[in-house]
Structure 1
Amino acid sequence: MTDTASRPGADLARWEADVVLRDGSVAHVRPIRPDDADGIRRFHARQSPESIYMRFFAPIKQLSERDVQRFTHVDYVDRVALVATVRGEIIGIARYDKIDATTAEVAFNISDAFQGRGVGSVLLEHLAAIAHELGVGKFVADVLPQNRKMIGVFTEAGYEVEHHYDDGVIAVSFRIEPTEQSQAVRLAREHRAESVSMHSVLFPDSIAVVGASRRSDSIGHQLLHNVLAAGFTGRVHAVNTEALEVLGLESHAKVSDIPDEVDLAVVAVPAEAVLDVVRDCADAGVKALLVASAGFAEVGPEGEQRQRELLRTARDAGMRVIGPNSFGVINSHPAVRLNASLAPELPPPGTFGLFAQSGALGIAVLASAARRNLGVSVFASAGNRVDVSGNDFMQYWIDDADTHAVGLYLESMGNPRKFSRIARALALTKPVIVVKSGISSYGVPPGHRARPTGVPPQAFDAMLRQAGVIRVENIHQLFDVAQLVVHQPLPRGRRVAVVGNSDALGALTAEACVSWGLEVTHGPVSLPSEATAEMFAQTLDAAFADEQVDSVLTCFIPPLVTLDAEVVDAVADAAAQSHKPCLATFLGMRGVTEALSAKEFDEQGRRRAVPAYSMPEDAVRALAAATKYGEWRARDQGQRVAPVGIDRAAAEALVDAVLTQSPEGRALTPEEVTALLAAYGITLWPTVPVATADEAVAAAWHLGYPVVVKSVAPAVRHQPGMGGIRVDLHTAASVREAFAALKDRLAALSANSLVVQKMATPGVSCVVSTTEDPLFGPVVSFSVAGPPTELLGDIGHRIPPLTDVDVSDLISSVRAAPLLHGHRGATPVNRAALADLVARMSVLADELPEVASLVLNPVIAHPGGVDVVGAEAIVAPPPVRKDTDRRALP
């Protein structure tokens, strides 16, 4: 048996992961090592006699040297073992031993102190992923009948478990290939754990402010002052190595000196002192850290190393980290009243959740919310987001009944696949508004961990649309949309009524509606400037009552310097009595005021308010965004595509064979491309290389007329006007003539390598491709071939996994899509066949990260189906995807 340390090239680091447990704390999962012998002995010594008997079926008080040697020395081929650790101590062990090539016996042992916290589920998830990677397809285990917890771990994981009673034990077996149910269970557990971990941050029972100076201009002093001034309902402790008292609180030299359990430590000390504070917090059992200190990865290599040590130290101790360089967190819930931030003034409590990465933007975001009187439920700044990110807070907001809409200002994105998945789940119930200026490496702030990306910005836009996210360009637009979706119902359609007291303002509003894709079906109605509030109310009631109206825009120019309070009341009252959204343009006014709020509460116990905008263009833009979101949320979200006739094992074997021969990767041969596509049910039309006219004629006879003769040189392939192809050849003579002409004409370009291929059915030429991006993972693209792709960049993108609705949206997203639907009297192509091809490509891309790129060009779509006429593929060692089939923190 081979020791792991002696295995040449053993790459076990890819199996290590930090994971969030059911209670929100962090554990580390890794392969077992020979130097874990003492840790195994300590683990066993802490276990109860009952737990030992459940694991070994015998009362083993002490492990023998032989047992310890066998447990800690495995070959990671036929025997695999994982441990979960917290603060360096083993809290769980999982292992399997192969019985045959595809079956392995598994065993688990979870610390008594950590049972019920999801350790067994995490270890099973990771062990199954490794086993699947190494070709094991089935787990078996013998479990004592009284060991209900272990049986529950198996059955609750989403696997179809078979079991029978045999000689005093229950023999359990189950297939471990990922299924829709097992994946759903994994994601649900991830969601619950990460949501709980954020609840621990936002609802601490006790806080310690480390670096709480007596100097009023220091960050530590400001943080402690803000915590106290907000009326935090829990216990507050000051930590200062020099002072005995700060702001009326007894000061402690370090967190471990505090005679109290500390849930959240707010750290504001010089960067070089942070690691000592983190180690002390680990010793004190602190649950989470908020590091406001700067001087980490944003300042250079030394800071990057300090940031890595911060993360590793915190993770090893089971703590989550917000920051470093964080502006802080705010939770306005009356049960906690938490302001652990540098914001001296807070927006009013409300139902809008806010996330901003940088501190400077955090100040701007909170100031904008306060100016508009937009109430905030939770605010968070992740700073360098070494650990906690917007994904974590979105997991929390999915469950938070006090948050009705979410806004995120993102400067970078570390895991777009996970973001897309979580944002979609959140957007199905609550509007998600995102400000993101770009995705290039130039836009990544110093200190943020982000991979480079090779995909165009359009792919990021497509990802947000796919997830139902409302993307805006700046903070101003974020709050324009937020004040609408927080206080008004979502529009049910694009039909708009325009009511006001100015012809010019009404026309401007109507024109803006048309430009944003809204339909003015009522008005513009312009009352005279001297119209009374009663006239205004009657006109508004008529607009709301119109069955051809989904939303109402009211535009009011006050005849005096101040607003007519009666007119404002009329707008608020009319809107409150309707289930249709209402937006108001009062020149010079912006936000949600008390005057525009309903006097009574609705059935959800909320007072609806009419959002006001200073200019009609702002109101219309916000309404258009909310309307598109409402349409997305109301529609059928579709089912995840699962084409039949896929042989994933054959494709994986092909890719593995290529990478074994060429470890750095290479382009596939035509035969290999044909086999790869065939494994996913895609037929590639054969091409026959020919060097002479006689060979061309023979190939034509073999393939069957009509045929084409074309060059395979990159310089002329798919290039209009280059004359690299002759089509619709029906006779041997025409083949000879075409071969001779192309051979002669293209010789000067060194492009006279020719092939013969059967003539495809006339139709619309398309391009379907996939790319494995270091940041986004697999990206599927679709376009109509020729100038739309090559000159206009008219290309649609989506991020797998895709639903059938996603596939349809991708095909329809390109501006040239009308060519597929019978443009100018042509017969529409077979849309179902084209969608099936795109679906198969998406599954291939999702399942085979080794396929660095795959391009089907051309794909001829026609009324009878689709013909894949050309294809090229490159395989390479796969990047490590961040959103994998096992739970892991970045």
Structure 2
Amino acid sequence: MNEEETLTGTGLDAAGRQPLDLGALLAPRSIAIIGASGNDEGYSSRSLANLLRTGYAGRIFPVNPRYEELEGLRCYAKVSDIGEPVDAAILLVRADLVPETVRDCAGAGVKAITVCAAGFAEDGETGRNRQRELVDLARAQGSRLLGPNCIGAVSVTDNVVACPTLNITGAHTAGHVSIVSQSGGMAVNLFNRAQGRGIGIRGFVSVGNEGDVDVADLIDAFADDPQTKVIALFVEELRDLPAFKAAVAKAHRAGKPVLALKVGRSDAGQRSSLSHTGAMGGSHTVFRTIMEQLGVLEVDSVDALIDTADLMTRVPVPESNRVLIVSPSGGECSYAADRASELGLDVLALSEETVQALSRTMRFGTPSNPFDLTGQVIGNMEFLLEVLGELERAPEFDMVLYAIPTWGAHDAERLLPGFITAAESSTKPTVISAWTADNLTERGGEILADSSAAHFASADAALTALSHLARWAALRRGAGDASARSSVMPVPRPVELPELPTEHQAKAFLRQHGLAVSREVLLADPAAAPKMAAEIGWPLVAKQLCANVVHKSDLGLVQVGLRGEAELARAMEDFADIVAAQGLESEGLLLAELRQGAEVIVGGVRDPKFGPLVMVGAGGVLAELLDDVVFRQCPVTREEAAKAIGGLAVGRLLRGYRGTAYDLDSLIELVVHFSELFAASDWLHQADLNPVIVSETSQGGAVIVDAALILTPVH
């Protein structure tokens, strides 16, 4: 039994915390609305109005000492006066009244307390202290607190619409997508957008400040919820990464995808730019790659979030990203094929066997992918079903798009049922896109809405959702297993290393810990340069080391490919002029062997949220310009390193381009080894190994030819 099983076996959640009672939050048998009022236009009347309007079946207890009754219901002065169990309470009172109200609710045994008021952690240290007080009051009695500064929760499945807003759609369609949002407004927007398009939702929860109940709590709870198939997140930041990781792993074991729409993507000014790694390790870059490592699918728009989540509840997981495009319009075939390719889907040719089988059915035209049904389909349902059935049996693709043009009622009624039948019976992820046009395509929309087929209002939306589905399948197959990572023993801080070591000092430290670095010699006396250069061998690299200078090449202090004493002498003269002009402090001349191969950057940075991270990407002086990098939490396994490198453009180069392949295995081993060293060296703030030269296969492996380390200050 592993640690996680031991914890959950004791009634704790996947992160070892008291689990959330989802039933008390989304399916309460009774609800107290504290601060409810009779003002029809006021904020405090809306939760009661929503519950009555939607026909909530449980007991409702308005709580407000100013009233004896509201809407025909007895009104209580406080929750403890009710005299019977209350599952949930919605607090609509001012911030200064919240603490005593939470105390009363918790003392009365309320299981789930939702605090809608603002004026807590978002208001600075004083507000954070008030928020901690609320949480302590609730937890002392075994209650869980949602918020503060939130809009509460809605369950379509259980007909619980207790949130204090009137801006919520009136017609509700139940489904299997559960939404968790750190924004109350966006929780409602996502819900309304989905419901308005006929996308079924299980419910949503707005977590607000996450004083107690947080995103991880809800992922953990929805992982156990039989009504939830997909968990969709709207997040600004993750406040408890270990709990989040444990909850996501639990959801994946339950077969439930987790999707995320991240906002607040700006990286401006949040990190030190002393190293390339620090400059490129912006908050969203790190978030995106860590989500990939955990198997969380990140999307970039509201529609992509709800479209993809809905699609995941309707179709199986594809085996690959190979898609077949079928349309009665040749132009739409070409358009959809272009968009599919742009989105990273493979539109491969049909096999010879499939072409021959289809040729026996078609009267004219050559079968291909994309597949143009031509005018043969019009009015011939038997032909349509025969062709679509033959395509379903073809093994050379794993997803299907039926791309329909703007059909009016006549063609929609005659032809859409055939596509719907094929989509509903397919064993592969199959979707229908049907372009919409006001006053023309409404009947087609009704026919599609009455079916169980996954359908979209444009080929763009359909292909975007399919591309996300394929990416999720790849993430699911490659999500890292934290238990497979090696444990690391702490590495003590070397007393001789300054906070900003020279390249020579940095490489000596790396060499000491088993990493391959280039052969070099540091000279204090320039007169010894010709002799030492001959020993290293021409051509070589000359570098002028100076105190507190990290990017030597930016100042002209690196010269590569020197082929004799004359060139070396000129380089040394140039270095001397630059040092004098810049007022720099020389720390010696470094002569190093010249390595040939592909340039890669490997780096490390300590993120305040995600901890120690290793970065790998295209290296050299263009590292930041190319932006071909990926981050992973340290330490990484060999499998994680291989997958990370394989997803980069430089990874494709290393695997082999125009007959030249590089020693990828050596680079993978170097990344793994460095990630372990960086994780173990908590005093090491940032690191650049740039470039790492990866030689052609069997010609020398991966070698660090330049390195910069930044140590945390000693206080």
Shorter-chain TM range is: 0.7 to 0.9
2:342 is aligned with 1:495: no
2:203 is aligned with 1:355: no
Deviates more, 1:835-844 or 1:268-277: 835-844
2:466 is aligned with 1:618: no
Per the alignment, residue 430 of structure 1 pairs with 256
What is the DSSP-based 3-state SS (H/G/I as helix, E as strand, rest coil) of the residue aligned with 1:710?
strand
The answer on whether the counterparts of 1:440 and 1:453 sit within 8 Å (CA) in structure 2 is: no
2:606 is aligned with 1:772: yes
Unaligned runs of 5+ in 1: 1-155, 159-179, 445-451, 600-608, 660-664, 880-890
- Structure 2: distance between partners of 1:643 and 1:775: 21
After superposition, what is the alpha-carbon deviation per residue over 1:186-240, rounded to whole angstroms, capped at 9, x for unaligned?
Answer: 9985347454444543344443221122333333432134335545454432211
- Structure 2: distance between partners of 1:541 and 1:372: 29
Deviates more, 1:611-620 or 1:342-351: 342-351
Q: TM-score normalized by structure 1?
A: 0.67
Please point out which of 702, 711, 714 is paired with 1:866. 702
Per the alignment, residue 582 of structure 1 pairs with 430
Inter-CA distance 215–743: structure 2 relative to 1 (3 Å threshold): closer
Per the alignment, residue 648 of structure 2 pairs with 814
- Structure 2: distance between partners of 1:453 and 1:290: 39
The answer on whether the counterparts of 2:92 and 2:116 sit within 8 Å (CA) in structure 1 is: yes
2:79 is aligned with 1:255: yes
2:510 is aligned with 1:510: no
The answer on whether the counterparts of 2:180 and 2:204 sit within 8 Å (CA) in structure 1 is: yes
Per the alignment, residue 357 of structure 2 pairs with none
Per the alignment, residue 633 of structure 1 pairs with 476
- Structure 1: distance between partners of 2:570 and 2:237: 58
Q: How far has the Cα of 1:850 moved from its partner?
A: 3.1
2:233 is aligned with 1:408: yes
- Structure 2: distance between partners of 1:702 and 1:641: 44
Please point out which of 682, 691, 704 is paired with 2:515. 682
Q: How far has the Cα of 1:626 moved from its partner?
A: 0.9
Q: How far has the Cα of 1:820 moved from its partner?
A: 2.5
Inter-CA distance 186–280: structure 2 relative to 1 (3 Å threshold): closer
- Structure 2: distance between partners of 1:873 and 1:183: 39
The answer on whether the counterparts of 1:638 and 1:805 sit within 8 Å (CA) in structure 2 is: no
- Partner amino acid, structure 1, of 2:370: G
- Partner amino acid, structure 1, of 2:374: L
Per the alignment, residue 95 of structure 2 pairs with 271
After superposition, what is the alpha-carbon deviation per residue over 1:639-674, rounded to whole angstroms, capped at 9, x for unaligned?
Answer: 766569x6x24x1x326x689xxxxx9335778746
What is the DSSP-based 3-state SS (H/G/I as helix, E as strand, rest coil) of the residue aligned with 2:74?
strand
Per the alignment, residue 523 of structure 1 pairs with 370
The answer on whether the counterparts of 2:486 and 2:635 sit within 8 Å (CA) in structure 1 is: no
Matches within 5 A, 1:665-744: 666-668=499-501, 673=506, 677=510, 680-684=513-517, 688-696=521-529, 708-713=541-546, 717=551, 719=553, 722=556, 724-725=558-559, 727=561, 739=572, 742-743=575-576
Please point out which of 286, 297, 306 is paired with 1:470. 297
Aligned-residue RMSD, C-alpha: 4.0
Q: How many residues align?
A: 673
Matches within 5 A, 1:198-217: 198-217=22-41
Inter-CA distance 537–405: structure 2 relative to 1 (3 Å threshold): same
Please point out which of 778, 788, 797 is paired with 2:622. 788
- Structure 1: distance between partners of 2:507 and 2:21: 48
Q: How far has the Cα of 1:329 moved from its partner?
A: 1.0
- Structure 2: distance between partners of 1:380 and 1:805: 36
Q: How far has the Cα of 1:430 moved from its partner?
A: 2.3
Please point out which of 660, 680, 684 is paired with 1:851. 684
Inter-CA distance 709–427: structure 2 relative to 1 (3 Å threshold): same
- Structure 1: distance between partners of 2:390 and 2:2: 56
Matches within 5 A, 1:70-219: 189-191=13-15, 193=17, 195-219=19-43
Matches within 5 A, 1:381-460: 381-415=206-240, 418-419=243-244, 422-423=247-248, 425-427=250-252, 429-440=255-266, 455=282, 457-460=284-287
- Structure 1: distance between partners of 2:690 and 2:240: 30
Inter-CA distance 587–685: structure 2 relative to 1 (3 Å threshold): closer
The answer on whether the counterparts of 2:379 and 2:415 sit within 8 Å (CA) in structure 1 is: no
The answer on whether the counterparts of 1:767 and 1:857 sit within 8 Å (CA) in structure 2 is: yes
What is the DSSP-based 3-state SS (H/G/I as helix, E as strand, rest coil) of the residue aligned with 2:403?
strand
Matches within 5 A, 1:827-846: 828-846=661-679
The answer on whether the counterparts of 1:643 and 1:836 sit within 8 Å (CA) in structure 2 is: no
Inter-CA distance 196–296: structure 2 relative to 1 (3 Å threshold): closer
- Partner amino acid, structure 2, of 1:404: K
Inter-CA distance 716–683: structure 2 relative to 1 (3 Å threshold): closer
What is the DSSP-based 3-state SS (H/G/I as helix, E as strand, rest coil) of the residue aligned with 1:667?
coil
2:632 is aligned with 1:798: yes
- Partner amino acid, structure 2, of 1:614: A
Deviates more, 1:247-256 or 1:753-762: 753-762
- Partner amino acid, structure 2, of 1:772: R
Q: How far has the Cα of 1:758 moved from its partner?
A: 4.3
Inter-CA distance 873–557: structure 2 relative to 1 (3 Å threshold): closer
Q: How far has the Cα of 1:245 moved from its partner?
A: 2.1
Please point out which of 89, 111, 118 is paired with 1:294. 118
Inter-CA distance 193–298: structure 2 relative to 1 (3 Å threshold): closer
- Structure 1: distance between partners of 2:268 and 2:591: 45
Inter-CA distance 425–815: structure 2 relative to 1 (3 Å threshold): farther
What is the DSSP-based 3-state SS (H/G/I as helix, E as strand, rest coil) of the residue aligned with 2:382?
helix
What is the DSSP-based 3-state SS (H/G/I as helix, E as strand, rest coil) of the residue aligned with 2:103?
helix
Q: How far has the Cα of 1:853 moved from its partner?
A: 0.9
- Structure 2: distance between partners of 1:666 and 1:598: 67
- Structure 1: distance between partners of 2:92 and 2:260: 29
- Structure 2: distance between partners of 1:433 and 1:347: 22
Q: How far has the Cα of 1:405 moved from its partner?
A: 1.3
What is the DSSP-based 3-state SS (H/G/I as helix, E as strand, rest coil) of the residue aligned with 1:712?
strand
After superposition, what is the alpha-carbon deviation per residue over 1:581-615, rounded to whole angstroms, capped at 9, x for unaligned?
Answer: 2211222179997744798xxxxxxxxx2222222
Q: How far has the Cα of 1:184 moved from its partner?
A: 11
Q: How far has the Cα of 1:380 moved from its partner?
A: 0.7
2:168 is aligned with 1:329: no
2:196 is aligned with 1:374: no
- Partner amino acid, structure 1, of 2:645: I
- Partner amino acid, structure 2, of 1:779: L
Per the alignment, residue 876 of structure 1 pairs with 712
Unaligned runs of 5+ in 2: 271-278, 350-368
Q: How far has the Cα of 1:265 moved from its partner?
A: 1.8
Q: TM-score normalized by structure 2?
A: 0.82
Per the alignment, residue 541 of structure 1 pairs with 389
Q: How far has the Cα of 1:802 moved from its partner?
A: 2.9
What is the DSSP-based 3-state SS (H/G/I as helix, E as strand, rest coil) of the residue aligned with 2:692?
strand
- Partner amino acid, structure 2, of 1:867: V
The answer on whether the counterparts of 1:771 and 1:780 sit within 8 Å (CA) in structure 2 is: yes
